[in-house]
Chains A and B, each alone.
Chain A
Amino acid sequence: VKKREIFELKAELNSDKKEKKKEAVKKVIASMTVGKDVSALFPDVVNCMQTDNLELKKLVYLYLMNYAKSQPDMAIMAVNTFVKDCEDPNPLIRALAVRTMGCIRVDKITEYLCEPLRKCLKDEDPYVRKTAAVCVAKLHDINAQLVEDQGFLDTLKDLISDSNPMVVANAVAALSEIAESHPNSNLLDLNPQTINKLLTALNECTEWGQIFILDCLANYTPRDDRESQSICERVTPRLSHANSAVVLSAVKVLMKFMEMLPKDLDYYGTLLKKLAPPLVTLLSAEPELQYVALRNINLIVQKRPEILKHEMKVFFVKYNDPIYVKLEKLDIMIRLASQANIAQVLAELKEYATEVDVDFVRKAVRAIGRCAIKVEQSAERCVSTLLDLIQTKVNYVVQEAIVVIKDIFRKYPNKYESVIATLCENLDSLDEPEARAAMIWIVGEYAERIDNADELLESFLEGFHDESTQVQLQLLTAIVKLFLKKPTETQELVQQVLSLATQDSDNPDLRDRGYIYWRLLSTDPVAAKEVVLAEKPLISEETDLIEPTLLDELICHIGTLASVYHKPPSAFVEGGRGVQHKRLPARAGSGESAESPDVGQAVSAVSDAPPAVIPSQGDLLGDLLNLDLAPPTSNVPPVPSSMQMGAMDLLGGGLDSLVGLQCSSLMVSSVLGGAPVGMPAGLGAAPAVGGGLGDLFDLGGGVGVTAGSYIPPKTVWLPAMKAKGLEISGTFARRSGVIHMDLSFTNKAMSVMTDFAIQFNKNSFGLAPAGPLQVLTPLSPNQTVDVSLPLSTTGPVMKMEPLNNLQVAVKNNIDVFYFSCQYPISLLFVEDGKMDRQVFLATWKDIPSENEAQFQIKDCHLNSDAASNKLQGSNIFTVAKRTVDTQDMLYQSVKLTNGIWMLAELRIQTGNPNSTLSVKCRAPEVSQYVYQCYELILRN
């Protein structure tokens, strides 16, 4: 702002005439709005504050809110007026003062705010009280401690019982917000009485208040299905509200509480029926709201497809829909497609494929392919539709069609190969990696039927290094397939591609895959054929499904941004506010298992038997590790122990980091599967491979380790934020009878780190480093080093809480850092833990029965032999087995490093995923940790 302008404004602000003053303040606010700095006028504007004119006062307050922070000392000048205004006979002025004061984030002012706020919270006028309620949240945002010390939280809680519904609503909103930053506080002490008050206020307050209350209700977990039903009954009328946000928040409460209702209950069915019409009605709202609604419906359809299964037509795209609505509708259409409605859906999709918007057209083409895979009866029609579309020669349509046709080939092998010729005609027009990769896969897969397959693939080879990794990998696999099918003519080609992949490429994935093929082919071509041309696993019918635990969490966030982004709040909200994970309540009857949060989560996640999910590329690494890569033990002879040992040695020698493990398993699986979808193939072919490949599969045997003793994945123990840039993650493993602490040190700071050392605090089982920490070379920025530290159990002993807690200090040239971690107690199970039968019997009788603890292991689908094998890998030994009817009882013994014996009985019922574990031990406090190990081992 020019000096002159400021000068003029100053003069006008100090004018005697009220009107002139007001005009001047207006000008100041106008400059402020467009971002001009008018803070120099602070004293002059504040001088105008003392006035009877409410309009002028509001303008001055607006100015104050904007600049007080930058002029804290002068802002104090305003305090007196605020305090005085808080006593004004006019409730509008009292409220205005307390509202504005809360927005001034200056510590000194905050102190003065407490007394007026306390009065306003108890004001006789509801308008002042509802404003004061929000002010507590404001104050908490500035100084949380002050709010607690002053007892404002209790006053706020009292306001939930206020006679005025709007005061209740604002108090609920303020409390919910404050509670978010104290996840464990019992601030929103929701109990049946308060819930009842909230439900009463729900009927009376404004539309916005209803939203606050419903969102708060959604955080409550009813005690039983009865209470859950009665809340649902009182919430359902909200489904007829004109405000879509009220409707969506009500849907959230219902979707959540419905989890608790028994499915055979009549009311459950009624509720499901009641949910569909309001969801359909949301689609007649304004486009922005439609978008929010559709994103949420997408979640609801995944969670409970039955609700909207008959409503396909309402998701048909209208010509005038904005593109974001069109894309979302299309997504939902695919999810709802079924045999009953497929004809209609296909007719629609065909229309869409001729629209203008490229993204939309691509998605429509892809959708046609999904329909083919989902509804077998329609496959033929879909394929012919796709061929029609390829004939249009519109470049992006053709590419998209080829990508989906590849998937159709995977789903229905040997059925539609007649179209290959048409596809090959379009080879030259493909310029997108995904389409090129798909086409190459098709050529490789059906090489024996394509006369000039070698020419086609060779044409891609010329620009090998310019292709994306996806295409390179595919080309490599395709040519190897071709060679195995037509070895005589293509030897040169295969050598060419192998050398391109192994010698001239910087990409480790490509190189490694190349080497594996090379070795396979040179060692035993017959085996290579069996591996590379192995039958491929089926592909799933559904795509892009949200992973079940995330889906459940998102259902708890219906209506919010999380449900729009399809991401948990922690992914886009900074800091700790409101990012604690929400979970759906467990259905009645399975509630008692929720002792530890993890168990509860797992239970609720699997309660509805979620469909298999095709992992997206990013999730693949993680999923591979969790997918039981080792084939079911019953089908495959156990890996010979020598081989397993070999693998351990190999792994011990530096490959032991988890990354290595993931890499090797990924490698092996992609070699076996070879399909671009990247689904891990069964390892079924592995034992067929001759001994010459032993070393290769020793490497792959890294997978076998997971079957032996379970090693949890590394977790971050010490985040870089807390340790001046040093990040430590790790896990524990027991290898050949020695306990190892596997650590990864990552230097996220700017300077080099050296002189690492480690020390443990006294702990329950006397764990101590058996040698010094071997970080030999200095750790440069952005470098990660993996270290395996052998541990002994001869250190000093002190009982920890929890028992398996370990406190660690790590030192480097910068500082000393402390963190604590917990180890699975199975680490301490020794190899000679198999008890004699007779001794077992005697000991079992000898231990008093009050030392016996019983646990439920849920959702473990192993039979008793498989379970026994798995447990033995972690030194839990089966002493005896007894079978009564369909129930197998395993009697097992475990010995800890400190000589404590543990006896267990594991009851497994055929066909029942839940088994019972009884543990007897002279030190009963250990039992629950043993149970945790069982869970961990059996589930993984």
Chain B
Amino acid sequence: MIGGLFIYNHKGEVLISRVYRDDIGRNAVDAFRVNVIHARQQVRSPVTNIARTSFFHVKRSNIWLAAVTKQNVNAAMVFEFLYKMCDVMAAYFGKISEENIKNNFVLIYELLDEILDFGYPQNSETGALKTFITQQGIKGQTKEEQSQITSQVTGQIGWRREGIKYRRNELFLDVLESVNLLMSPQGQVLSAHVSGRVVMKSYLSGMPECKFGMNDKIVIDKQGKGGAGDDAGKSGKQSIAIDDCTFHQCVRLSKFDSERSISFIPPDGEYELMRYRTTKDIILPFRVIPLVREVGRTKLEVKVVIKSNFKPSLLAQKIEVRIPTPLNTSGVQVICMKGKAKYKASENAIVWKIKRMAGMKESQISAEIELLPTNDKKKWARPPISMNFEVPFAPSGLKVRYLKVFESKLNYSDHDVIKWVRYIGRSGIYETRC
């Protein structure tokens, strides 16, 4: 298990040092500094073995967090723990910076004592930790409060404390997607996938039982079988096939595995409910049609058309098209119908920016590129044209069907909860070859 945990500043000075195991000596602190932080070349691996001692490290801004061990530990767990440690610290005092760490070192030691015992990670949910580790010191607790704390820290719902109260029960769901595309010059999709996240902000009283439903093909098909035939055909079109998804630890995984239903008691505040990936029937918000013509050896004519492919009532934002230019470009003349376009010599590209664009529209840019004659026999490799944008819908086609809230002990019902859903689709790597 983890033998010790050190936090260093960018110079390699120790800010926090907590040793859990007898086999980790004080010299381990120095070994990491000398061999990794002060190493001359770039870090080649997040795991370093120095004299039979293994060091795992992550960096947050210019702060180094290193976990040390002499055993064959679960490496994935150590990194997950280091990330969690960063999350916990950020939840307590904000940005992880040298100053914040120095100012909160007593708190950090207290946290490290609690969430890592003999090198074994323990409950590290901030919701639970904040009930008994505070920066203000412990207030007097009644016996009931004490046992409530312990049962929560060790309980099945370690991520949420009891007794949360809101005057207004409210929740926000954000479906955030990034759509990735590689398209051939002829408009053939070479690869496309969407990676999405459902982020939830919950401000709910008590211990609410939630059930989340989306247009998952497997679920819809199953329901369709039971219901009327034509209904299934209709809803089948709107459902989407999800390649894989992962859930926050609050979701009951065995229930998802058997019934494919997503049920959970949410943490309080903001968290990521699920991540997913889809590759089928993706709505590609933009189509890029490139046309490159070589006029002799010293001139290129480039014409690029972009077409928006979504409902006319919706608006895409922050559109940027990046057209690469050859290294021997001497001058560029650009004409565009909409937005602004500029040749950026340092980036070897023409950057065309459009603030807003409605659906089912088309826009065009043409450029003349003057080339310097070279005796380089190698042809220009023609890197792909890439695009950035943001659209107010989910390119995967994912729809939130419902998020039901049940809280049997308190007297508010699903209808009383105010729910907000928002969809944002952004470009990931969105490229068209030319």
Residue of B nearest to A89 (CB): B143
**Set of chain B residues within 8 Å of A127, measured between Cβ atoms:** 149-151, 153-154
Query: Of A35, A240, A291, which contacts B245 at CB under 8 A?
Result: A240
B14 and A574 within 8 A (CB)? no
Question: In angstroms, how far is the closest chain B Cβ from the Cβ of A267?
Answer: 14
**Set of chain B residues within 8 Å of A215, measured between Cβ atoms:** 74
Using an 8 Å CB-CB cutoff, how does the interface string of A251-280 with B read, 1 for contact, 0 for none?
000000000000000000000000001101
B80 and A289 within 8 A (CB)? yes
A561 and B120 within 8 A (CB)? no
Which B45-80 residues sit within 8 Å CB-CB of chain A? 45-47, 49, 52, 54, 56-58, 69-77, 79-80
A125 and B138 within 8 A (CB)? no
Q: How far is the CA of A241 from the CA of B272 in the complex (A)?
A: 12
A122 interface hit (Cβ, 8 Å): no
A245 and B118 within 8 A (CB)? no
B74 and A211 within 8 A (CB)? yes
**Set of chain A residues within 8 Å of B153, measured between Cβ atoms:** 127
Residue of B nearest to A105 (CB): B22
Using an 8 Å CB-CB cutoff, how does the interface string of B266-298 with A read, 1 for contact, 0 for none?
000000101101000000000000000000000
**For chains A and B in complex, what number of residue pairs have CB atoms within 8 angstroms?**
241
A92 and B146 within 8 A (CB)? yes
**Set of chain A residues within 8 Å of B105, measured between Cβ atoms:** 29-30, 33
**Set of chain B residues within 8 Å of A130, measured between Cβ atoms:** 122, 154
Using an 8 Å CB-CB cutoff, how does the interface string of A545-569 with B read, 1 for contact, 0 for none?
0000000000001011111110001
**Set of chain A residues within 8 Å of B406, measured between Cβ atoms:** none
**Set of chain A residues within 8 Å of B334, measured between Cβ atoms:** none
Most chain A CB neighbours (cut-off 10 Å) among B44, B72, B113, B252: B72
A577 and B113 within 8 A (CB)? no
Most chain A CB neighbours (cut-off 10 Å) among B1, B71, B154, B257: B154
A21 interface hit (Cβ, 8 Å): no
Question: In angstroms, how far is the closest chain B Cβ from the Cβ of A22?
Answer: 9
Tell which of A133-141, A682-690, A826-834 binds the partner. A133-141
Question: In angstroms, how far is the closest chain A Cβ from the Cβ of B41?
Answer: 10
Question: In angstroms, how far is the closest chain B Cβ from the Cβ of A908?
Answer: 43
B97 interface hit (Cβ, 8 Å): no
B113 and A281 within 8 A (CB)? no
Residue of A nearest to B70 (CB): A574
Query: Of B23, B120, B246, B277, which contacts A208 at CB under 8 A?
Result: B120
Q: How far is the CA of A781 from the CA of B80 in the complex (A)?
A: 49
Query: Of B71, B132, B257, which contacts A237 at CB under 8 A?
Result: B257
Question: In angstroms, how far is the closest chain B Cβ from the Cβ of A49?
Answer: 15
Query: Of B22, B113, B125, B154, which contacts A58 at CB under 8 A?
Result: B113
A134 and B77 within 8 A (CB)? no
Question: In angstroms, how far is the closest chain B Cβ from the Cβ of A55?
Answer: 5
A574 and B52 within 8 A (CB)? yes
Tell which of A161-169, A415-423, A659-667 binds the partner. A161-169
Interface size on B, residues (CB 8 A): 89
A29 and B109 within 8 A (CB)? yes
Residue of A nearest to B195 (CB): A284
**Set of chain A residues within 8 Å of B121, measured between Cβ atoms:** 208
**Set of chain B residues within 8 Å of A102, measured between Cβ atoms:** 118
Question: In angstroms, how far is the closest chain A Cβ from the Cβ of B324?
Answer: 13
A204 interface hit (Cβ, 8 Å): yes
B405 interface hit (Cβ, 8 Å): no
A292 and B249 within 8 A (CB)? no
Using an 8 Å CB-CB cutoff, how does the interface string of B77-112 with A read, 1 for contact, 0 for none?
101111100000000000000000000011001100
B75 and A563 within 8 A (CB)? yes
Q: How far is the CA of A167 from the CA of B123 in the complex (A)?
A: 12
Given the contacts A58-B110, A240-B257, A286-B79, A35 and B244 also touching, CB distance less than 8 Å: no
A206 and B249 within 8 A (CB)? yes
**Set of chain B residues within 8 Å of A53, measured between Cβ atoms:** 137-138
A240 and B247 within 8 A (CB)? yes
Q: How far is the CA of A29 from the CA of B108 in the complex (A)?
A: 12
Residue of A nearest to B102 (CB): A30
A35 and B26 within 8 A (CB)? yes
**Set of chain B residues within 8 Å of A95, measured between Cβ atoms:** 150
Q: How far is the CA of A127 from the CA of B76 in the complex (A)?
A: 26
A372 interface hit (Cβ, 8 Å): no
B13 and A577 within 8 A (CB)? no
Question: In angstroms, how far is the closest chain A Cβ from the Cβ of B115?
Answer: 9
**Set of chain A residues within 8 Å of B43, measured between Cβ atoms:** 322, 324
B375 interface hit (Cβ, 8 Å): no
Question: In angstroms, how far is the closest chain B Cβ from the Cβ of A320?
Answer: 10
A91 and B109 within 8 A (CB)? no
B80 and A243 within 8 A (CB)? yes
Q: How far is the CA of A573 from the CA of B70 in the complex (A)?
A: 6
A287 and B46 within 8 A (CB)? yes
Query: Of A55, A99, A278, which contacts B117 at CB under 8 A?
Result: A99
Q: How far is the CA of A170 from the CA of B57 in the complex (A)?
A: 25
B254 interface hit (Cβ, 8 Å): yes
A91 and B147 within 8 A (CB)? yes
The main secondary structure of chain A at its interface with chain B is helix
B74 and A92 within 8 A (CB)? no
**Set of chain B residues within 8 Å of A134, measured between Cβ atoms:** 117-118, 120
Given the contacts A245-B77, A572-B54, A26 and B106 also touching, CB distance less than 8 Å: yes
Q: How far is the CA of A240 from the CA of B122 in the complex (A)?
A: 21
Q: How far is the CA of A572 from the CA of B55 in the complex (A)?
A: 13
B42 interface hit (Cβ, 8 Å): yes
Given the contacts A34-B14, A141-B22, A278-B246, A292 and B79 also touching, CB distance less than 8 Å: yes
B17 interface hit (Cβ, 8 Å): yes
Residue of B nearest to A244 (CB): B76
A286 and B253 within 8 A (CB)? no
Given the contacts A29-B105, A204-B156, A206-B123, A241 and B79 also touching, CB distance less than 8 Å: no
Q: How far is the CA of A691 from the CA of B118 in the complex (A)?
A: 72
A225 interface hit (Cβ, 8 Å): no
**Set of chain A residues within 8 Å of B70, measured between Cβ atoms:** 573-574
B38 interface hit (Cβ, 8 Å): no
Question: In angstroms, how far is the closest chain B Cβ from the Cβ of A309?
Answer: 16
**Set of chain A residues within 8 Å of B247, measured between Cβ atoms:** 240-242
**Set of chain A residues within 8 Å of B16, measured between Cβ atoms:** 33
B158 interface hit (Cβ, 8 Å): yes
A73 interface hit (Cβ, 8 Å): no
Query: Of B146, B154, B272, B277, which contacts A126 at CB under 8 A?
Result: B154
A170 and B120 within 8 A (CB)? yes
A229 interface hit (Cβ, 8 Å): no
Given the contacts A91-B147, A125-B147, A287-B46, A238 and B253 also touching, CB distance less than 8 Å: yes
A90 interface hit (Cβ, 8 Å): yes
B15 interface hit (Cβ, 8 Å): yes
Question: In angstroms, how far is the closest chain A Cβ from the Cβ of B396?
Answer: 15
**Set of chain B residues within 8 Å of A579, measured between Cβ atoms:** 72
**Set of chain A residues within 8 Å of B414, measured between Cβ atoms:** none
Given the contacts A92-B132, A165-B156, A167-B154, A289 and B79 also touching, CB distance less than 8 Å: yes
B248 interface hit (Cβ, 8 Å): yes
Which B18-37 residues sit within 8 Å CB-CB of chain A? 19-23, 26, 29
**Set of chain A residues within 8 Å of B143, measured between Cβ atoms:** 89
A578 interface hit (Cβ, 8 Å): yes
A-B contact pairs, 11 of them (CB 8 A): A126-B154, A165-B156, A166-B122, A207-B249, A237-B253, A240-B257, A243-B249, A247-B246, A574-B52, A578-B71, A578-B72
A-B residue pairs, 10 tightest by C-beta = A277-B244, A127-B150, A237-B257, A245-B76, A245-B77, A237-B253, A569-B72, A208-B121, A288-B46, A126-B154
Given contacts A249-B76, A572-B72, 15 further A-B contacts (CB under 8 A): A33-B17, A35-B14, A53-B137, A103-B118, A105-B22, A126-B151, A208-B123, A237-B253, A237-B254, A240-B244, A278-B244, A281-B275, A288-B58, A322-B43, A574-B23
Residues in A lying within 8 Å of B, measured CB to CB: 26, 29-30, 33-35, 53-55, 58-59, 61-62, 66, 89-92, 95, 99, 102-103, 105, 125-128, 130-131, 134-135, 137-138, 141, 164-167, 170, 173, 177, 203-208, 211-212, 215, 234, 236-238, 240-245, 247-249, 277-278, 280-281, 284, 286-289, 291-293, 313, 318, 322-324, 388, 391, 557, 559-565, 569, 572-574, 577-579
